[in-house]
Chains A and B, each alone.
Chain A
């Protein structure tokens, strides 16, 4: 506790202008930056999978299942930063038991459960059911029983049953897209609806969150597809990468336009808070907003992706540009989350001064914890890949009932 007070005293010395005395402690730190970042990846990866499913985009087939289980791996981790940040995590169940229905935050549990149980798990189950049945028959030992349990007893492999799986999967995808929109749009709403904070309070916030989620989701799938293809010594399907690259380009253009609209709107309206916000952007947020989010995270990848489309480049170089852009986009989107969450707390609500935020290394809200939370989804993804391999070649082929009869 004493350390905490000492740190606050040091921060107090770096305050510029006047802040309300209670404002020296910045309440939503790195963990709350991780939360929308991870949720965005869930929504983005799922939307990418849904595009493939609904519009039947042949080129994206290699990433369909991979996107779904990536979304699942990240979704498992999404509530953890929130939970670890609470003053009383042991009371968090009250959000489910006695939710205050007017509160945007109270809805998180319901949105999350809906998305996890109704959308993602069901869609993955219907998509994998056929394989689970076949694996449960072919595998031996513990694995056999694990797959048997995962089939939930639905072992029918008749044409009719398989047709139903497909239909159900498609139906869930159709429900899933608005659900993914709600999941991340909702996270934007948590910030956008705080009227006390002019940096957050914007009707565009949920939409900007959503498009940045799509950008980050596509980029992470380029990286995961690239990495898994490399370590499996498989050949890259350039059609798939080109398609992902072009989607990423369109998504960045949309996202950037929306963010510029928000920016121009603020500047043009020039409300009471404009002075302090300009001061913040040109000092405390200059590196993370102008340099990292805008130039490195948006413009540079966009230039690369446009270049790929206007000039015929060799495969090797195209891959390099795609991976490079995807990494830059990840850094940029993380920075976007930082600028929203931390930026919104760096200026005083008296609009007269700026406070400071220093990331700690240790501790529950520290850097190591956040890195751990960002690595955890990849560990889960690795486990999921081991249990339900998403590779097209791992997909089992069920001899149709008619063929079986002939034999």
Chain B
């Protein structure tokens, strides 16, 4: 009787295994399906593809974006390190151009130029262009700088060896070497914020909505409206870096 019971148990065990296998597989599959739908992991291009639009005519050079960025991202306070900065252009009637960005524009701009003789003047916010064809990513010897699938160029600071080749390769002066971590650093579009559905800090604080952040290809994105109503240009287009920071009403003097 005992023997019979043992045989029965073994058979039952095998039976149970056979029955439960598809259930386990189904569970595993279900988990991966749920995982795909969770917002943290939906990084593929169809889900997100970020960019920024800048309306030069709306920028008043207040520098709030510069300060917000420094605070949000713990950028060193010293005036040699900027993830974003604002430049002021003063084009005079004799075509001489005066460009300034004292403290990256974070403390405003001095009114040191006489209004007489000014042909036009405007502010240009700058930041990493998150190029689709980024020279910084190309040159990084260890792959510490990389493009995410949602179109953001990031630096893995645990992996960066601090060779600074990427700083040399960036045509826009958007990178610096963090003096404390000794690694390359730059704008991340506030990746930690945009992954939660918020705007980058600079966009959030801009009082005139000169900066517009969003999806490049979604119809409902604020960028789509920006593209529809403005003639846009990127910086140094001849370098074929394909920037994803787009400027409306960009002056030819801006490089």
Contacts and interface: CB of A to CB of B under 8 A. Distances in A.
The answer to whether A and B interact is: yes
A196 B140 contact: no
Q: In the complex, which range does the number of interface residues on chain A fall in?
A: 35 or more
Contact of B167 (A1, A8, A27): A27
A196 B161 contact: no
Interface of A: 1, 4-5, 8, 12, 18-25, 27-28, 82, 85-89, 91-92, 94-95, 98-100, 102-106, 108, 190, 194-197, 344-345, 348-352
Interface of B: 78-82, 85, 87, 97-101, 103-104, 126, 135, 138-143, 159-165, 167-177, 179-183, 239, 255
B175 to A, nearest CB: 7
B105 to A, nearest CB: 9
Contacts of B169: 194, 196
B161 A103 contact: no
Q: Please classify the interface of chain B as helix (H, G, I), strand (E, B), loop, or mixed, using the class held by over half of its residues.
A: loop
A352 B98 CA distance: 9
A94 B159 contact: yes
A94 B100 CA distance: 40
B162 A22 contact: no
B164 A91 contact: no
A272 to B, nearest CB: 8
Nearest to A27: B164
Given A12-B80, A21-B173, A86-B161, 11 more contacts: A5-B80, A8-B78, A21-B101, A21-B103, A22-B80, A27-B167, A85-B163, A88-B160, A103-B141, A348-B173, A350-B255
Given A5-B78, A95-B141, A352-B99, A22 B161 contact: no
B164 A21 contact: no
A8 B80 contact: yes
Nearest to B253: A352
A95 B142 contact: yes
Contact of B163 (A1, A23, A86, A349): A86
A28 B168 contact: yes
Nearest to A345: B168
B99 A22 contact: no
Contacts of A349: 170-173, 255
Q: Please classify the interface of chain A as helix (H, G, I), strand (E, B), loop, or mixed, using the class held by over half of its residues.
A: loop
19 contacts: A12-B79, A21-B79, A25-B80, A25-B176, A86-B162, A87-B162, A87-B163, A87-B183, A91-B142, A94-B142, A95-B141, A105-B165, A106-B142, A194-B169, A195-B135, A195-B171, A349-B255, A350-B99, A352-B97
B165 A21 contact: no
Contacts of B98: 18
Contact of A103 (B80, B165, B181): B165
A32 to B, nearest CB: 9
A25 B255 contact: no
Contact of B140 (A18, A100, A190): A100
Contacts of B138: 102-103
B81 A22 contact: yes
Contact of A98 (B126, B142, B164): B142
A145 to B, nearest CB: 39
Contacts of A12: 79-80
A24 B80 contact: yes
Contact of B161 (A8, A18, A20, A92): A92
Contacts of B143: 98, 100, 103
A106 B141 contact: yes
A388 B101 CA distance: 60
A21 B175 CA distance: 10
Given A25-B176, A87-B177, A95 B167 contact: no
A345 B177 CA distance: 15
Nearest to A87: B162
A83 B162 CA distance: 10
A350 B139 CA distance: 21
A87 B161 contact: yes
A195 B159 contact: no
A18 B55 CA distance: 23
Nearest to A91: B161
A350 B100 CA distance: 12
A351 B255 CA distance: 8
Contact of A18 (B78, B99, B142, B162): B99
